[in-house]
């Protein structure tokens, strides 16, 4: 059953990019034509190394018509000419980030809060991220969201909503049926014990 007819995946990088096989896998995954955004989210790596990695990823994203988003760092997003930047609540505030990024895409994590979502909307975010909806190993869960939260915020804010947290092939349809615009997925693609990345994405119909 098709419950959407567009690119509905917001793909997040693995926490570490160790070797060149990642770029090949990324290209195969993006060829599925299901990914709208790809976010580079790697910690504990020098800016110099991030720039090298980002430049390689940007080429692959452009080739597959995917928007390339940098996590946390508006300056890096400008440096590598990414399509935009994603900000957490503890990162730079959106008003300052807009001065750096001008018309580029800015997304904001709003956890499970209508107040944060309304603030992000008022300050010019292009999308908001809500979650975590399910248990996740990607990062420590301090805020939980559910379908009720999703529906409430959907009514309060006229912005695309990215659902995050533990999304996989068994639970993703429920979020789409309840009008999440995009699903942020990482672990299910990159650390799947059963499928290779390009096989894992095919399971999301």
Q: Rounded distance, CA 73 to CA 202, Å?
A: 31
For the chain, the domains span: 9-202
Identify the DSSP state of 183. Answer: E
Q: What is the mean pLDDT of residues 22-50?
A: 97
CA nearest to 116, candidates 148, 88, 141: 88
Please tell me the distance from the alpha carbon of residue 103 to that of residue 81, in angstroms, as a whole number: 12
Exposed/middle/buried for 6, CB within 10 Å: 0-12, 13-18, 19+?
exposed
Q: How confident is the model at residue 191 (pLDDT cuts 50, 70, 90)?
A: very high
Render pLDDT for 62-95 as a digit per residue (tens, 0 to 9): 999 999 999 999 999 999 999 999 999 999 999 9
Helices (H), the chain: 21-30, 47-63, 74-79, 94-101, 114-122, 147-156, 172-177, 187-190, 197-202
d(CA 135, CA 111): 14
Pairing of strands 105-111, 127-131: parallel
Rounded distance, CA 196 to CA 190, Å? Answer: 8
pLDDT of residue 141: 66
> Tokens 């990324």 label which residue?
26
Indicate if the pLDDT at residue 4 is higher than 60.
no
User: Tell me: domain 9-202, CATH 3.20.20.70, correct?
Assistant: yes
pLDDT tens digits along 127-182: 999 999 998 776 666 789 999 999 999 999 999 999 999 999 999 999 999 999 99
The pTM (predicted TM-score) of the whole model is 0.95
Question: What average pLDDT does the segment 176-194 reach?
Answer: 96
């Amino acid at each position: 059953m098709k419950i959407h007819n567009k690119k509905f995946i917001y793909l997040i990088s693995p926490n570490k990019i160790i070797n060149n096989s990642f770029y090949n896998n990324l290209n195969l995954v993006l060829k599925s034509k299901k990914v709208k955004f790809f976010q580079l989210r790697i910690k504990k790596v020098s800016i110099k190394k991030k720039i090298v990695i980002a430049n390689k990823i940007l080429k692959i994203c452009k080739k597959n018509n995917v928007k390339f988003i940098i996590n946390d760092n508006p300056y890096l997003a400008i440096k590598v000419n990414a399509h935009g930047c994603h900000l957490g609540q503890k990162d730079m505030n959106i008003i300052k980030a807009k001065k750096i990024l001008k018309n580029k895409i800015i997304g904001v994590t709003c956890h499970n809060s209508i107040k944060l979502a309304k603030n992000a909307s008022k300050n010019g975010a292009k999308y908001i991220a809500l979650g975590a909806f399910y248990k996740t190993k990607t990062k420590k869960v301090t805020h939980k969201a559910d379908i009720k939260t999703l529906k409430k915020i959907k009514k309060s804010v006229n912005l695309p909503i990215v659902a995050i947290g533990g999304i996989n092939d068994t639970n993703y349809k429920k979020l789409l049926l309840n009008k999440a615009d995009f699903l942020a997925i990482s672990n299910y693609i990159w650390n799947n014990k059963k499928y290779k990345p390009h096989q894992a994405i095919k399971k999301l119909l």
